[in-house]
Amino acid sequence: MLSPMSSIKSLRRLALPVALVIGLSACATPFKADVSRFAVPLPAPQGQSFAIVPEDPKLAGGLEFATYANSVAAEMQQLGYARAASPEGADLLVRFDYRVDGGRERVRTDLNGGGFGGGFGAGRFGPWGPWGGWRGAGWGLGFNDPFFGGPEVRSYTIYTSGIDLKIDRAADGQRLFEGKAEAVSRSNNLPRLVPNLVDAMFTDFPGNSGETLRITIRDDEKTVRPTD
């Protein structure tokens, strides 16, 4: 039933194994997501029917959920499954959920201007810096004098978005597949993020069970570049 994706789709994308650390990713190109998947070995799909249902019952009947469900359905149909008219008549139930957090601030300091800068904690020279400046815990020194071309400090908000996908056999409720895709970006625009996360989830689907991949997708052209 579940099988690797077609060769055409595999050529369009590239998935590289990575640690379970989510890197910073912009919503613009390229889009990067960390994907974890677990599946049981099953034969190739042969037209079995499926229906997509929300993991959260409160989303049932919503237009937003229906829009994202269509993205999942398109991927399932490309694999060789057929969309059922209702969950009651489906061979497979695809449970789907999506989310984005409230964001958190990230500060970046650029010292390329040649200014002096300090940070928290004692450095390798101990509590007294190499020039006799105090570098005790909880305090840092920084100049932003135009004469020195001081550091440029920038603050921006980053968001963590994600989707969860589960596939159960309707006849007996056996779990066939579980997957999670997460990305960190400077956007919380779910209508743009969710299709990209779905795209990442179905790259080389169903993948190797228990493996986490870093999927990189060109957000504008839906092609792939290797992750550094």
Residue extents of the structural domains in the chain: 7-11+37-104+158-207, 117-150
pLDDT, residue 42, reads 74
* Interval 31-54: pLDDT, tens: 999 999 999 987 788 889 999 999
* Position 226 confidence tier, pLDDT thresholds 50, 70, 90: very low
Residue, of 70 and 109, whose pLDDT is higher: 70
Average pLDDT over residues 42-67: 92
pLDDT at residue 12 is higher than 70: no
pLDDT tens digit sequence for 152-183? 778 889 999 999 999 999 999 999 999 999 99
Q: How far, in Å, CA of 196 to CA of 65, rounded? A: 15
pLDDT at residue 135 is higher than 80: no
Q: In sequence order, what are the residues at sequence separation of 6 or more whose Cβ sits closer than 8 angstroms to the Cβ of residue 222? A: 12, 199
More confident site: 221 or 45: 45
Residue 109 has a pLDDT of: 77
Q: What per-residue confidence (pLDDT) applies to 120?
A: 41
- Residue pLDDT, tens place only, 82-129: 999 999 999 999 999 999 999 888 887 776 654 444 444 444 434 444
Q: What is the reported pTM?
A: 0.68
Where residue 13 falls among pLDDT bands split at 50, 70, 90? low
Band (pLDDT 50/70/90 cuts) for residue 11 is very low
Residue 29 pLDDT = 65
Which of 74, 12, 30 shows the shortest CA–CA distance to 203? 12
pLDDT at 222 over 80: no
Cis peptide before 206 (omega within 30 of 0): yes
- Judged against a pLDDT cut of 90, whether residue 224 lies above it is answered with no
**Residue type (1 letter), 217:** I
> Candidates 3.30.70.360, 3.30.160.670, 3.40.50.1100, 3.40.630.30; correct CATH number of 7-11+37-104+158-207?
3.30.160.670
Over residues 191-212, the pLDDT tens digits come to 999 999 999 999 999 999 999 9
